[in-house]
Amino acid sequence: MATEADGHSDGGLVFHPMDQFIVKPLFGDGAVNMFTFTNVALWLLLAVACVIALMVLGTSKRARVPSRTQSVAELAYGFVYKMVEDVTGKDAVKYFPYIFTLFMFIVFSNFLALIPSSFSPTSHIAVTAVLGFGVFIAVTVLGFVKNGAGFLGLFWVSSAPLALRPILAIIELISYFVRPVSHSIRLAGNIMAGHAVLKVFAGFAAITAVAPLSILGITAIYALEVLVAFIQAYVFTILTCVYLKDALHPSH
Amino acid sequence: MATEPIDLEAAGTCVGPDGSAIGMPQLCADWMPNQIFWLLIALAAIYFVLSRIALPRIATVLAERQGTITNDIAAAEDLKQKAVEAEDAYNKALADARSEAQAIIAQNKAEMQAELDKAIAKADAEIAAKSAESEKAIAEIRASAVESVEAVAKDTAGSIVAALGGQADDSTVAAAVDARMKG
């Protein structure tokens, strides 16, 4: 990559922590248009491959006493299934495949992004915004389809004094429309920040005196990022469940 | 700076001439359609594979396992019940056998006692018979002995009287001896 070359030619510290997020075509040097096979496409498809490997190949034996891979697949299934059941309710179980798709995609994208010199799709706001707004639109449409105008009761806090209700309604409305923004920026921001920090620490390793400290820092941040990779997938999924619950049962 | 020539046209507005990013690549609108397109493909693929293959399969496996566990627990409960019953039956059989043994012992003891009593009685009777016989024999012997003593005494007395020069008839001597012997 050009980063290292530049660092040496300038003879000093030159950080390009954002270069890892550049989208490039993998074949040829052309412009990136909609259907170009880019590094984003590669790592997205790798995530798909990993999901298939775990959930389909891992469970292919349908063993009553599960193998390790099958155990992990069942663990993931049980984890998200219980989350949907506990947070959203038993009637939301039919939406479980969608939520599980989101969870598996995010968790594998996040973990694949931790491989050095890989690309992290979930650090891109374009990706997480599609996820976040997808959830938002689906949940809103579902809320109106299931409850009709009753869905607006979500904004009309009937337990508050009558005089306060219009004010609360405005606040609720704003917070409702902020949801998809925070939902998507939370994920992208966490992943992007972690990877940028790793790159900055890596840049310091060029100075011999601080290299050990820098490597120690990378190790520590990497451990934190492993945690963040899972926690952000978990947070995204559980918030999806919460939003879905609001759509199915809008009364407070 | 960069060794490879950068096609500025191709790189678009988000990458500088040195090949590094200008600002945040995340905000580069040129790349977003590409990312969204591939993301939707990836999500559709994951959803399709999960909902058609993986999730029904795992649900089946989990349900089967739950069924097996429930069945096994029921079977274990059943076997436990059977074991308890078997133990009860065993204890009952043991108690029965013990009481039967007691009865047999008591019966044997009674039979043996009866036989023993019978044998003792028989032995007693035999002993009594034998001693009666012996007594009779002794009495006979004694009687004959007394008779002999009398005869000897009469003879001896007759001889003594004759030797002393007396004249004694047998009847007198016999009377005298009888008188003496009675005295």
Dump the DSSP string for A103-154.
HHHHHHHHHHTTSTT---GGG-HHHHHHHHHHHHHHHHHHHHHHHGGGGGGG
Q: What is the pTM of this model?
A: 0.73
Domain tally for chain A? Answer: 1
DSSP letter at B21 equals B
* Both tokens assigned to A40: 């984003």
Which residues, at least 6 apart from B139, have a Cβ–Cβ distance to it below 8 Å?
Answer: none
Chain A residue nearest residue B11, CA to CA:
A31
Of B9, B21, B35, the CB nearest to A40: B35
Task: Tell me the C-alpha distance between B52 and A55, whole Å.
Answer: 11
Interface with chain B: mutation pick from A101, A110, A199, highest number of B CBs within 10 Å: A101
Contact A188, A128 (CB under 8 A): yes
Q: Is A101 within 8 Å of B43 when comparing Cβ atoms?
A: yes
Interface with chain B: mutation pick from A1, A40, A94, A96, highest number of B CBs within 10 Å: A40
- For residue A51, the chain B residues in CB contact (below 8 A) are 46, 49-50
Burial class (CB in 10 A: 0-12, 13-18, 19+), A198: buried
Using DSSP, state whether A32 is helix, strand or coil: coil
Interface with chain A: mutation pick from B7, B48, B58, B69, highest number of A CBs within 10 Å: B58
Of B38, B55, B68, the CB nearest to A44: B38
| Average pLDDT of the residues of chain B | 87
Contact B53, A56 (CB under 8 A): yes
Residue that is written with structure tokens 């193998």 in the block? A67
List chain A pLDDT tens, one digit each, 252 residues.
334 444 444 446 777 888 888 888 888 777 788 888 889 999 999 999 999 999 999 888 888 888 999 999 999 999 999 999 999 999 999 999 999 999 999 999 999 999 988 999 999 999 999 999 999 999 999 999 998 888 888 888 888 888 889 999 999 999 999 999 999 999 999 999 999 999 999 888 888 888 899 999 999 999 999 999 999 999 999 999 999 999 998 875
Task: Tell me the C-alpha distance between A59 and A77, whole Å.
Answer: 12
Q: Which domain holds residue A173?
A: 2-248
- For residue B43, the chain A residues in CB contact (below 8 A) are 101, 105
pLDDT tier for residue B17 given thresholds of 50, 70 and 90: confident
Task: Tell me the C-alpha distance between A229 and A187, whole Å.
Answer: 9
Contact A13, A203 (CB under 8 A): yes
- Tell me: pLDDT of B34 over 60: yes
pLDDT score at B24: 83
Q: Phi and psi of A84, rounded to 5°?
A: -60, -45
Residue that is written with structure tokens 């997480």 in the block? A128
- Tell me: pLDDT of B111 over 90: yes
Residue that is written with structure tokens 């890989």 in the block? A118
The 10s digit of each residue's pLDDT in B135-154 is 999 999 999 988 888 888 88
Cα Rg for chain B, rounded, in angstroms?
68
Q: Give the pLDDT mean for B121-141.
A: 94
- Tell me: pLDDT of B4 over 50: no
> Could you tell me where the DSSP H helices lie in chain B?
8-11, 32-49, 55-163, 170-182
* Both tokens assigned to A84: 């949907």
Cα Rg for chain A, rounded, in angstroms?
22
Give B67 to chain A, closest Cα distance, Å. Answer: 11
